[in-house]
Structure 1
Amino acid sequence: MRSFDFIIVGSGSAGSVVAERLSASGRHSVLVLEAGGSDRRFFVTMPLGYGKTFYDKSVNWMYRAEPDPGLDGNADYWPRGKVLGGSSSINAMVYVRGAPEDFDEWRDRGNPGWGYADVLPVFRSLEDHDGPAQSLGKGGPLHVSDCSKLFHPLANQLIKAAQEAGLAYNPDFNGARQEGVGPFQLTTKGGRRMSAARAFLRPAMKRPNVTVITQAMVTRILFEGNRASGVEFIRNGESETVMAGREIILCGGTINTPQLLELSGIGDATRLRDLGVAVVHDNAQVGENLQDHLGINYTYRANVPSLNQMLRPWWGKTLAGMEYLLLRSGPLSISMNQGGGFFRSDPSRKRANMQLYFQAFSTLVPKNGERPILTPDPWPGFSIGLSNCRPTSTGSIHIRSSNPLEPPRIVPNAFSTNHDVAEMLDAVKFLRKIAATPTMSKLIVEELLPGAACRRDDELITDFRRRSGTVYHPVSTCRMGPDPAQSVVDPRLRVHGVEGLRIIDCSVFPNIISGNTNAAAMMVGAKGAELVLEDSDKY
């Protein structure tokens, strides 16, 4: 039976970083188990190819949440990366660390070492920025690009309009101030996606002390008494077992990590017994405290060309494809989110609580249909999207049965608090304020969604309940904290109540951050690896 010092379950944003950091010295043997396959696929490496991977089961778990009363009964679609690099291989590549106050809140909830002053050097050690922003690091493994010169002219008009609506221009959302409007920084390099796998895991795989096994679905953590000792996984229809000499590190993410804990006997004892799972440790917090950002788009018909006219016709696709293949440039080389920002839905709030996304194209299709990023609408159009940064609604993720191949039950509880409903109502009204600015009003023919007839507060609320959905930032289902009765891991990311088991991924966030979560996931990976190495001296 094979044995490794460290077994990492999941090669996503955090897991890839953990693998690179733990193997760097050459002193430790590291095994990475990934349920998906290789990231060396054209539509993974091409930035705008995530329109294709959005519904591709070969690289995507393609989860579906439970019908949600807060979303008018809709069963929201939850894509998650099932591939080397995890969701960093299929996401929209926006690089936002989160507001400094977010991490100070983590620290103040009893997690020393997780304040902004603590994590900022970790962020900077990861980064290699090619733009003018002074806040980002240089020389790290993760390339962060300034792609503003590639933006469609309409995106720049949207940035101008947001300033007319009262937002300050902000060239760097990762600086001291997050609020404002401007260009997003993206995880790309040379016109190719810079996933966590490309930045961290692929270099680590060249080391002799790193083993990566793909198509390996981990089904259970094994225990010797109170200590995690190994894992079982299924590959090619066969069950295999590997042992860990030092630690098992779960990096499966907000959905798969609590699922594996419960399958292995760590969770609410009553729930586990009812499902026929032997209890190893009773912790009712496993799978609870789920938070996520919810988003909606307002879509407009324009009287000037948008990316629709470039990406819709066959000849436009051909030209864009040739530009990408020959020059690694053009619209296929960047994200669809070409600028945006952060704002306060109510000026009386102390800090920004909403995020903007500017998209110089439009796709009026059902949310559960094909995502036609590469085949937008046949008329000129664009969208202004937003998502809430600091929702108070919480949900849960739990196993349905003891069958590890059955998807878990995802219950978002979207818009389940009056706070979240009220701030979204204020926010969508601000979108119309942007649309009414001199710059925007002269470009807009009509508002297509929700449409001019939707005016009253009750109508706006009904609309955003019906059309909103996840923006793919779920966190906190195994949250960090000092109290075992209120958390799943301690501030060193060790699972409460057992030994030899650690969680390093977005599920440990004490609460959700303001903005996209991929950067913070990689930071947690790097800091978590530091903690592992510090503690490894005790073995």
Structure 2
Amino acid sequence: MQEGLGWMDMTVHKGKRWSTASAYLRPVLSRPNLTAEVRCLTTRVLFEGKRAVGVEYTQNGQKKKVFADKEVILSGGAINSPQLLMLSGVGNANDLKPLGIPVVQHLPGVGSNLQDHLELYVQQQCSQPITLYKAQKPHHMIKIGLEWLSMFTGYGATAHLESGGFIRGRPGVTHPDIQFHFLPSQVIDHGRVPSKMEAYQLHVGPMRSTSVGWMKLKSANPLDHPIIQPNYLSTEVDVSEFRQCVKLSREIFAQRAFQPYRGPELQPGPGVQTDAEIDAFVRRKADSAYHPSCTCKMGAPSDPAAVVDPDARVLGLEGIRVVDASIMPSVVSGNLNAPTIMMAEKAADVIRGRPALVDPGVPVYRPATLETQR
């Protein structure tokens, strides 16, 4: 059951961030059928006709090629995977031809359908010295760092976004569409600016924004960053949902439980009250939650925006799959890390020919008071 407030799941193990490299790759690096290369930049997929046969990459200034006996699997993420496909001639032919890239497969969906999560911070001054403000002083940071380096415990062993929740922002919504993260600190510019005082905040944002963007190649040079147009807040629905996010966050901080700790509101601040003022604040302060996805959408061949089929195979081609957050048809209602890992495990089973893991008896939570209760 996703709906509700509580402890947030984190990929932390024994006080350390437990990445997929730590959990899946490093324990099996000694396998004879696995070779991992580092400091590489993949520049294109190699094709013979419609079949992917390998990849070209640069390493230490040298151009190299590696060939596949069975398949090429792209896992570059929602930006690099479509970029690599387009560099290899897979994408919208009308965009590739002007760049001098030979078209292998016309797939206009490559790089389109870009979706992301936006969030902003609603901040409240804390009237008691119980936040992480002192922990960010230099002498405390040294102590925290030494404890973490020696024992992997203490303040350095957590991301501190330990509580949060998922709610339905309005009647009739069937599953949560707003996410909260609570942090006992004031964050300014993603932490690049030190906090100014004892404070706490909510990270809040809608999870199913209707604004859809795109990305395209700037040139045929793999070193050139692609052009990214996320089209954030381009629909009135998204603007109104963020307005609701601010109002709901204020409602939470106004509860009696916060009374012993509640100081003045720092952000948006008492001068932001009307809908127009809140909308202006949202446009000024909303930030990416770093959840780009959906740029190689999974779908049926009849869908002009689809890039991969239900088995993650690139449509119209052979010997190539995409396995990362780019294959989501629409952005998930939550953070991307765990769902992407789940998709990779599912794709691994498909690639290996294992039967699907199906349990039709798993109950799915449905709110009993859809129209009347958050």
Q: Do these two structures clear the TM 0.5 threshold for a shared fold by scoring above it?
A: yes
1:505 maps to a residue whose letter is D
Give the Å deviation of 1:326.
Answer: 3.5
Counterpart of 1:532 in 2: which secondary structure?
helix
Number of residue-to-residue matches in the alignment: 353
- In structure 2, C-alpha distance between the alignment counterparts of 1:191 and 1:519, rounded to whole Å: 18
Equivalent positions of 1:9-24 (< 5 A) are: none
Partner of 1:298 in structure 2? 122
Equivalent positions of 1:121-520 (< 5 A) are: 177-364=1-188, 366=189, 371-372=191-192, 376-484=194-302, 485-520=304-339
Counterpart of 2:35 in 1: which secondary structure?
strand
- In structure 1, C-alpha distance between the alignment counterparts of 2:340 and 2:156, rounded to whole Å: 25
Partner of 2:362 in structure 1? none
Give the Å deviation of 1:330.
Answer: 1.4
- In structure 2, C-alpha distance between the alignment counterparts of 1:269 and 1:309, rounded to whole Å: 53
Q: Is the 8 A contact 1:362 1:377 kept in 2?
A: yes
Q: Is the 8 A contact 2:112 2:305 kept in 1?
A: no
1:215 maps to a residue whose letter is R
Partner of 1:523 in structure 2? 342
Q: Is the 8 A contact 1:481 1:487 kept in 2?
A: yes
What TM-score do the two structures reach when normalised by structure 1?
0.64
Q: Is the 8 A contact 1:308 1:376 kept in 2?
A: no
- In structure 1, C-alpha distance between the alignment counterparts of 2:64 and 2:149, rounded to whole Å: 41
Counterpart of 2:69 in 1: which secondary structure?
strand
1:251 maps to a residue whose letter is S
Give the Å deviation of 1:377.
Answer: 1.7
Partner of 1:164 in structure 2? none
- In structure 2, C-alpha distance between the alignment counterparts of 1:349 and 1:225, rounded to whole Å: 47
2:318 maps to a residue whose letter is E
- In structure 1, C-alpha distance between the alignment counterparts of 2:172 and 2:71, rounded to whole Å: 47
Partner of 2:363 in structure 1? none
The gaps in structure 2 that reach 5 residues or longer are: 355-374
Give the Å deviation of 1:318.
Answer: 2.9
Q: Over residues 20-55 of structure 1, what are the superposed CA-to-partner deviations in whole Å (9 max), with x where a residue is unaligned?
A: xxxxxxxxxxxxxxxxxxxxxxxxxxxxxxxxxxxx
Counterpart of 1:186 in 2: which secondary structure?
coil
- From the superposition, tell whether residues 445 and 307 of structure 1 become closer, same or farther in structure 2 (CA, over 3 Å): closer
Q: Is the 8 A contact 1:265 1:279 kept in 2?
A: yes
Q: Is the 8 A contact 2:179 2:205 kept in 1?
A: yes
Q: Which runs of 4+ in 1 moved over 4 A?
A: none
What TM-score do the two structures reach when normalised by structure 2?
0.91
Equivalent positions of 1:39-54 (< 5 A) are: none
Give the Å deviation of 1:269.
Answer: 0.4
Counterpart of 2:208 in 1: which secondary structure?
coil
Counterpart of 2:264 in 1: which secondary structure?
strand
Q: Is the 8 A contact 2:296 2:307 kept in 1?
A: yes
- In structure 1, C-alpha distance between the alignment counterparts of 2:134 and 2:154, rounded to whole Å: 10
- From the superposition, tell whether residues 278 and 306 of structure 1 become closer, same or farther in structure 2 (CA, over 3 Å): farther
Partner of 1:85 in structure 2? none
Q: Over residues 187-210 of structure 1, what are the superposed CA-to-partner deviations in whole Å (9 max), with x where a residue is unaligned?
A: 111111111001000012121111
- In structure 2, C-alpha distance between the alignment counterparts of 1:440 and 1:270, rounded to whole Å: 57
The gaps in structure 1 that reach 5 residues or longer are: 1-176
Which deviates further from its counterpart, 233-242 or 300-309?
Answer: 300-309
- In structure 2, C-alpha distance between the alignment counterparts of 1:315 and 1:215, rounded to whole Å: 35
- In structure 2, C-alpha distance between the alignment counterparts of 1:417 and 1:385, rounded to whole Å: 21
Q: Is the 8 A contact 1:343 1:354 kept in 2?
A: yes
Q: Over residues 67-125 of structure 1, what are the superposed CA-to-partner deviations in whole Å (9 max), with x where a residue is unaligned?
A: xxxxxxxxxxxxxxxxxxxxxxxxxxxxxxxxxxxxxxxxxxxxxxxxxxxxxxxxxxx
Give the Å deviation of 1:464.
Answer: 0.6
Give the Å deviation of 1:186.
Answer: 1.3
- In structure 2, C-alpha distance between the alignment counterparts of 1:299 and 1:392, rounded to whole Å: 26
2:63 maps to a residue whose letter is S
Q: Is the 8 A contact 2:215 2:229 kept in 1?
A: yes
Q: Is the 8 A contact 1:299 1:383 kept in 2?
A: yes
- From the superposition, tell whether residues 378 and 418 of structure 1 become closer, same or farther in structure 2 (CA, over 3 Å): closer
